[in-house]
Amino acid sequence: MLGRAGQAQEYGLSYTRGLPLMKEPALTETTAAPAVTGFHHFSPTVSDVEASAQWYERVFGMARIPVTFPHYGAEEGGYAVLLMDARSGIAIGLHHHDANPGQPFHESRTGLDHISFGVADRADLDARASWLDELAIEHSGVIDADTPLPYSVVVFRDPDNIQLELFHMVG
């Protein structure tokens, strides 16, 4: 059985006790890829934009931007509603497509499996689980795992059955 350092190396991650896990930089023959600065937005297609907007506003405390956004390259086929979290800068764009018959999401189809939002520490997961209880949103409770790497997570689903996670990497 591999320890944390061995597991980290197996997945191409560097691990130093007390420091976060980091992916070793991928190098091409000429240069390294430009750095990604962080997560900006998540844009699911939903069956009911208004119901989903109200749900995401309630669950994540996000504010709705009071305009709709056209789909790039398919401006006539639908629109998106944008929600923002002023504290983190994270945005969620809820998309309506005229061609969407309203079928629920399922992660076994090609496309998104789930989206995971990071939290600062393990205690934040307990607080979020309590918040989801107050909102009567079914969730997994806090799950603490040790393999393949130590982490804690709360799993729940949005109104279209998209799996969402609140995630803390133990380090």
33 lies in some domain: no
Q: What is the pLDDT of residue 23?
A: 53
- Residues 49-62 as b/e (b if ≥16 CB within 10 A, e otherwise) read beebbebbeebbeb
31 lies in some domain: no
34 lies in some domain: no
The fraction of the chain above a pLDDT of 90, given in percent, is: 51
| Residues contacting residue 41 through CB under 8 Å, at least 6 positions apart | 82, 90, 91, 92, 93
20 lies in some domain: yes
**Residues β-bridged to residue 112:** none
- When pLDDT is averaged across residues 115-128 and rounded to a whole number, the result is 93
Phi, psi of 71 (to 5 degrees): -75, 130
CATH number (domain holding residue 62): 3.10.180.10
Q: Which residue has the higher pLDDT, 68 or 24?
A: 68
Structure tokens at 8: 């980290």
- When pLDDT is averaged across residues 101-124 and rounded to a whole number, the result is 87
Question: Residue 126 sits in which domain range?
Answer: 4-25+39-169
Which of 15-19, 44-48, 80-84, 95-99 is predicted least confidently? 15-19
Number of domains in the chain: 1
Specify the amino acid at residue 141: G
pTM: 0.74
CB atoms within 10 A of CB 139: 18
